[in-house]
Amino acid sequence: MSAPLRRPERADMASQVIKCKAAVAWEAGKPLSIEEIEVAPPKAHEVRIKIMATAVCHTDAYTLSGADPEGCFPVILGHEGAGIVESVGEGVTKLKAGDTVIPLYIPQCGECKFCLNPKTNLCQKIRVTQGKGLMPDGTSRFTCKGKTILHYMGTSTFSEYTVVADISVAKIDPLAPLEKVCLLGCGISTGYGAAVNTAKVEPGSVCAVFGLGGVGLAVIMGCKVAGASRIIGVDINKDKFARAKEFGATECINPQDFSKPIQEVLIEMTDGGVDYSFECIGNVKVMRAALEACHKGWGVSVVVGVAASGEEIATRPFQLVTGRTWKGTAFGGWKSVESVPKLVSEYMSKKIKVDEFVTHNLSFDEINKAFELMHSGKSIRTVVKI
């Protein structure tokens, strides 16, 4: 058993600047640098959180690479974290110091037309400032060596302390292990929701999941929970097949083992195509294959992976005319503030897996190694203890 994560003991610091460690991305394409930063107190409708654990996701690496058109530097990355509220700003009513929380990169204000529409989870209340790496008032709470450091995805979990908008926080069960449930801040929730919310997989369905990383495994888990009868995993790395089967895949195939396009292989395997397919890579050619592997008349393909900026998808319109549907999902369709606590409860009651996604645990000083493990394909999720 690892030692329990310590809770913050800084009630006297609620209105003060906190000096702490953070992993700063000074510029694109360079490793993160562990620095001492200053974290300002929360302003109105903001919350300062002591981050206890964070995971590293492909989205962090995408921004760090310089390919993200919204990527701004210097910045504190990280969006799969969990921690304890250290202090709250003026007007915050639903959270208090000591609450156990998960920061959310998609907020839920409950008031905008997106929040009021049951068809979407894409709250737009703070979208513009969040995309610029700023708090809703247009400023940052982070400084380092006299320079302003930007926020990331409204969360910035690669820091001992972070400040987030109060609408970007889910209050969760205080008994939940933070070094596990931090994963519900992005990858697991995204894949699981793609199956149960976006596709709405039905019992007896035949499904195909393209890309067997963390998100793909979560999709498989969602398909299994929904009662799918066949779940076919598709990946060019056969080392991922055993774990996919542990999560519920009934069979796995490698496109490189066939001379014909993978969509044709799947159509033959499934007597006409799958009921539901999921692209969990971010590759536009695979997105086409996933759609074209769907059954005529009713097949649904969900785009889960995020393609690089400027990429476009293509297929013949006849694919859609003949009854296939192409959909996309962000954070699995979950309305975040209300849904993440329920997902934590599902984990605590063993309805969904979380522990099994964690392949490596590292100290904060080793955070760059987490990126190396991800790029090498050796990890599903690496959790960094802050």
**Could you confirm whether 381 is annotated as catalytic?**
yes
CA separation for the pair 101, 114 (Å, rounded): 23
Q: Which residue in the list 46, 115, 157, 207 is annotated as catalytic?
A: 115
57 labelled catalytic:
yes
Half-sphere exposure of 125 (CA within 13 A, CB side): 21
Task: Measure the CA angle with vertex 215, ends 266 and 135; round to 5°.
Answer: 140
Residue in 338, 354, 330, 344 with CA at minimum distance from that of residue 197: 330
72 classed as catalytic: no
Asked if residue 208 lies in contact with residue 287, where contact means CB atoms within 8 angstroms, the answer is no
123 labelled catalytic: yes
Angle between helices 262-269 and 284-292 (to 10 degrees): 30
Q: Is 280 a catalytic site residue?
A: no
Query: Annotated catalytic residue: which of 123, 182, 223, 294?
Result: 123
Known catalytic residue at 80: yes
Catalytic residue among 20, 72, 112, 144: 112
Q: What is the DSSP string of 221-253?
A: HHHHHTT-SEEEEE-S-GGGHHHHHHHT-SEEE
Active-site residue, from 59, 155, 157, 162: 59
Catalytic residue among 46, 48, 54, 58: 58
CB within 8 Å of 215: residues ≥ 6 apart: 187, 190, 191, 194, 280, 304, 305
Rounded Cα–Cα distance for residues 174 and 355 (Å)? 17
User: Residue 329 pairs with which residues in a beta bridge?
Assistant: none
Catalytic residue, from 48, 109, 155, 182: name it: 109
> Which residue is catalytic, options 120, 127, 230, 315?
127
Q: Edge-to-edge strands of the sheet including 18-24? A: 18-24, 33-39, 142-144, 147-149
Active site residue 186: yes
Catalytic status, residue 295: no
For the chain, give percent helix, strand, coil, nearest 5: 30, 25, 45
CA atoms of 135 and 370, how far apart (whole Å): 27
Residue 182 appears among annotated catalytic residues? no
Pairing outcome for strands 358-363 and 381-385:
parallel
Q: Is 144 a catalytic residue?
A: no
The helix (H) or strand (E) run that includes residue 220 is helix 214-225
Among 100, 141, 186, 382, which one carries the catalytic annotation?
186
Catalytic residue among 46, 57, 86, 182: 57
CA–CA gap between residue 224 and residue 217 (Å, rounded): 11
> Known catalytic residue: 127?
yes
Exposed (0-12), middle (13-18) or buried (19+): which is 256, by Cβ within 10 Å? exposed
Of residues 45, 48, 63, 80, which has the active-site annotation? 80
252 included as an active-site residue:
no
- The set of catalytic residues is 57-59, 79-80, 109, 112, 115, 123, 127, 186, 381
